[in-house]
Amino acid sequence: MNLDIEFVLPHWLYWSVLALLPLVVMACVDRSFRRGAVVSGGDTAELPGEAPVERYRPPGNRFTAAVDRVSGFFGRYVAYWSLIAPFAFAYEVLVRYAFNSPTNWVHESMTLMFGMQYLIAGAYALREGGHVRVDILYQRARPLTRAALDLATSVFFFVFTIGLLVTGWRFFSQAVSDQYFFGASYANETSFTEWAIQYYPVKFMLFFGALLLLLQGCAQLIRDFQTFRHHRAGERHGRGVAYLLVALGVVLGAWVVFEMVNIATTDYESLTGSLESVLGNVGIGGLTLVMFGTLMVVLVAGLPLAFVTGGLGVAFLYLVGSQDMLNLMPSRIFPMMTNYQLSAIPLFIFMASVLEKAGIIEELFDVVYKWMGGLKAGLAIATVIASTLLAAMVGVIGAAVVTMGLIALPAMLKRNYDPEIAIGSIMAGGTLGILIPPSILAIIYGVIAQQSVGELYLGSLLPGLLLAFMYGFYCWMRGTLNIKVAPPMPVEDRVDMKEKLRLLRNMLAPIVLVVLVLGIIFTGIATPVEAAGIGTFGALVVAAMHKRLTWPNLHAACMTTLVASAMVMWIIFGASIFVGFYILQGGQTFVQELISGAGLGPYAVLALMMVLLVALGMFLDWVGILLLAVPIFVPLIKGLTFDGVLGLPGVDPADVSLWFGVIYLVNMQMSFLSPPFGYALFYIKGVCPPHITMAQIFRSSFPFLGIQALGLLLVILFPALVTWLPNLAYG
């Protein structure tokens, strides 16, 4: 009997589902809220023991209110698209294995859906403050200076957004038949699969997303100006610096307007005074200094990373090249926007959000603590173990550190743990999300470095578990040497084996889910994207089993997913322009020749890269580091031969890229813990009681930073820790 299923989703049905389903979900969510339903699960917005800092909130005006409503509506609209993916990928895996009927349309439809979601979500993420910024100096500046910085650096935001708006429209119009008045092509552009979906609606989102972002940016500019006026009236000192910054912003803005006129009125010649191609004759060495020097200056000024790299990328495209080079923007963004592997990012974030709203994270910590609490430093060890399991669910370290800080830190402080042991175990355990599969950083690394994500997951598993063991062993040693710094659970609070088994039964479903997701990736049954889809479907089932699958919880999970994935993807969009242009100008070759010309051996080159990555980690977000460093480092590292040191085995040339990828992931753990600006230090500060100082947080990181350095050294000296499992599984 032939059980083949030959169903192919009609195009009209695909667009109808995307158009109508969010409206149905909106109605259900609003109805549920009107009836008094609330969001359950953890709430990382509430900081224990510390009142939120009151800041001036600009009133805005009718325009800003209207723009906020538009951004909010479209953000919420596309956020609910995430609900489609789990069922689509579950269908794909089912028909492939049960009916031997694999599809192409499921993968393509979901990839295009998420690509459109990323673009539209940018404005909503800006409204919600979801775009990450480097706040090293920004947060320490006076309120008036901060407001002036916001006004001055907004120029780079508008350079990026307007550039994307104009080139995005051109990119869209070239995909449409010229029978339409806005078409610039002779036929509709379709995909190359048998599904043959038309591309122009997807490409239109480059223009539409930029338009929404531009409107939200204008609303933000109005609020920034109101904030500046408010603080100018209240601060009598330090006005000179603020006025200077605003004047600089006005000059830059006037130059941008002039160059826009130049582009609009000339074809092959520039207006007098235009800076077009003014850097065309600068060598790659000078260009490197100018590009990266400017990048660091604007970064510390506090503009979100996505718009720093994107705006500077557009500026250098124009200053070094010509108007035509601006078309590099959509041609760099569209492949990232429609990259199949990157679709796993919103799916894994959605899975983690659903599990959190189902209360799984709190139950997980409680179960592990009841099992391990009788040991010396049992609560710290339980934190590390729970963080390891959480890493296998979340894949993003900010969420892991904050969540465990909210759950585990009060419990340890209540039981008289030394704050440095408590804080250090939370930060170190939380950073395992970078390394333990399904790491989102590994997905992005695999895309940029053209490395199998499945191999990266297998390669990072042993180093991740090794580091988790080393963290736990250190906590146990501290508790053994001095029981006062990490006392065990009081005897009266301990439970018998029967109760432990009962507690473990409650965690059976999420543990099976994690094993299922990782198992189907490691065995090659499904791709990481499909595994993420299956995992998300399973998370919905687990939430239903815990009676937490409610409309408010689904809404909260969708909105959390939207902001987090938009933050990551817009950094990728901006950095891909900046780095893509630098590589196009010969930057990759320049760096390679610079390092190889220094006469360093392979392991010295690797050590130099490690130092640079740790230094970058003190300032940049992990996505920004990856987009800036990996495209330059990986080609260089592939050309080196690592024969081993101290008589130890070396690395097979075919495994160098995989080995370096895992080394990179371990290094990123170090960068998150490195004082003074490692991101994990500030994540944990946000959930600490007021009496915990930054000096204590810094001190708590040093022992675990040393353990991470030891783990990094072990991975470098013993490459089999990385390569053994992938070679065993894939040959």
Return d(Cα 545, Cα 708) in angstroms, integer: 38
Mean pLDDT of 476-505: 77
User: Would you call 101 helix, strand, or coil by DSSP?
Assistant: coil
**pLDDT digits 0-9 by tens, 5-52:** 778 889 999 999 999 999 999 999 999 998 887 887 554 333 333 333
The average pLDDT across 487-500 equals 72
Query: Average pLDDT, stretch 231-247?
Result: 81
Q: Where does 373-452 have alpha helices with state H?
A: 378-391, 397-414, 419-430, 440-449
pLDDT of residue 27: 94
Whether 620 shows a pLDDT value over 80: the answer reads no
- Does residue 360 have a pLDDT over 90? no
What's 523's DSSP letter? T
How high is the pLDDT of residue 429?
A: 85
* Stretch 329-357: mean pLDDT: 85
187/196 Cα distance (integer angstroms)? 13
Q: What is the mean pLDDT of residues 446-473?
A: 89
Residue 510 pLDDT more than 80?
A: no
Phi, psi torsion values for 452, nearest 5 degrees: -60, 125
Task: Give the model's confidence band at 212: pLDDT under 50 very low, under 70 low, under 90 confident, else very high.
Answer: very high
Kindly report which listed range (43-52, 103-112, 556-565) carries the lowest average pLDDT score.
43-52
pLDDT for res 682: 67
Q: How confident is the model at residue 373 (pLDDT cuts 50, 70, 90)?
A: low
Instruction: Give the pLDDT band of residue 64 (cuts 50, 70, 90).
Output: very high
Give 320-373 as a 3 state SS string.
HCCHHHHHHHHHHHHHHHCCCHHHHHHHHHHHHHHHHHCCHHHHHHHHHHHHHC
Q: What does the pLDDT read at residue 103?
A: 84
Question: What DSSP designation does 321 have?
Answer: S
In this structure, are residues 160 and 131 in contact, taking their beta carbons and an 8 Å threshold? no
The answer to whether the CB of 115 falls within 8 A of the CB of 337 is yes
More confident residue, 156 or 234: 156
Q: What DSSP character marks residue 190?
A: B
Strand partners, 185: 177
- Poorest-confidence range of 380-389, 501-510, 572-581? 501-510
Average pLDDT value for residue range 663-670 = 87
597: exposed, middle or buried (C-beta count within 10 Å: 0-12, 13-18, 19+)? exposed
pLDDT above 80 for 621: no
Q: Which two tokens stand for residue 305?
A: 């990373």
> Are 632 and 587 spatial neighbours (Cβ–Cβ below 8 Å)?
yes
Asked if residues 479 and 380 have their Cβ atoms less than 8 Å apart, the reply is yes
221 C-beta neighbours (distance < 10 Å), count: 16
Cβ-defined contacts of 405-410 (< 8 Å, 24+): 405/430, 405/683, 405/684, 405/686, 405/687, 405/688, 406/42, 406/44, 406/46, 406/48, 406/687, 407/42, 407/361, 407/362, 407/365, 408/365, 408/379, 408/382, 408/383, 409/48, 409/684, 409/687, 409/688, 410/48
**Cβ-contact 92, 527 below 8 angstroms:** no
Specify the pLDDT at position 676: 65
| pLDDT at residue number 1 | 43
Higher local confidence (pLDDT), 212 or 423: 212
Lowest pLDDT segment from 39-53, 169-183, 242-256, 277-291: 39-53
Name the CA radius of gyration of the chain, rounded.
26
What SS3 class is residue 279?
coil
Return the pLDDT at 492. Answer: 65
Percentage, residues of the chain above pLDDT 90: 24
Q: Decide if 463 contacts 666 (C-beta within 8 A).
A: yes
- The CA distance from 312 to 291, in Å, is 8
Beta strands in 32-123 (DSSP E): none
The rounded distance, in Å, linking the Cα atoms of 6 and 413 is 60
Instruction: Identify the residue whose tokens are 């579950």.
Output: 90
Residues 284, 290, 296, CA angle at the centre, nearest 5°?
130
Q: Under a CB-based contact definition with an 8 Å cutoff, are residues 90 and 534 in contact?
A: yes
Q: Quickly list DSSP for 132-159.
A: -B--TTTTTS-HHHHHHHHHHHHHHHHH
Domain boundaries, the chain: 11-35+56-338, 342-549+669-730
Residue 51 has what pLDDT? 34
The secondary structure element, H or E, covering residue 488 is none
Look at residue 128 in the predicted model and tell me its pLDDT. 87
121 or 621: whose pLDDT is higher? 121
**Tokens in use for 656?**
């160098």
User: How large is the average pLDDT for residues 294-303?
Assistant: 82
The pLDDT score that the predictor gives to residue 50 is 34
Q: Which residues make Cβ contacts (< 8 Å) with residue 43, sequence separation at least 6?
A: none
Above pLDDT 70, what percent of the chain?
A: 91
Is residue 714 scored above 80 in pLDDT? yes
Q: Cα(577)–Cα(621) distance, rounded to whole angstroms?
A: 17
Rounded Cα distance between 189 and 204, Å, is: 12
Confidence of residue 618 (pLDDT cuts 50, 70, 90): low
Tens digits of residue pLDDT in 108-147 = 999 999 999 999 999 999 998 877 776 666 767 788 888 8
DSSP characters for 198-265? BSHHHHHHHHHHHHHHHHHHHHHHHHHHHHHHHHHHH--SSHHHHHHHHHHHHHHHHHHHHHHHHHHH
In whole angstroms, give the CA distance from residue 86 to residue 91.
9
The pLDDT of residue 410: 79
Any bridge partners for residue 198, and if so which?
190
What is the residue whose two structure tokens read 């078409």?
Answer: 183
For residues 426-449, average pLDDT = 83
Q: Are 178 and 186 in contact (CB under 8 A)?
A: yes
Give the distance between the most distant pair of CA atoms in the chain.
85
CA 382 to chain centre: 27
Q: Are 395 and 387 in contact (CB under 8 A)?
A: no
Task: Give mean pLDDT, residues 585-612.
Answer: 82
Point out the least confidently predicted range of 428-432, 528-532, 679-683.
679-683
* Mean pLDDT, residues 245-251 taken together: 90
Confidence of residue 326 (pLDDT cuts 50, 70, 90): confident
> Across the chain, what does the average pLDDT equal?
83
Output phi, psi for 39, to 5 deg.
-80, 130
Q: Report the helix count and the strand count for the chain, using DSSP H and E.
A: 28, 0
DSSP 105-124: HHHHHHHHHHHHHHHHHHHH
**CA gap 94, 90 in Å, rounded:** 6
Handedness of CA 602, 679, 423, 361 (dihedral sign): negative
Over residues 709-713, the mean pLDDT reads 92
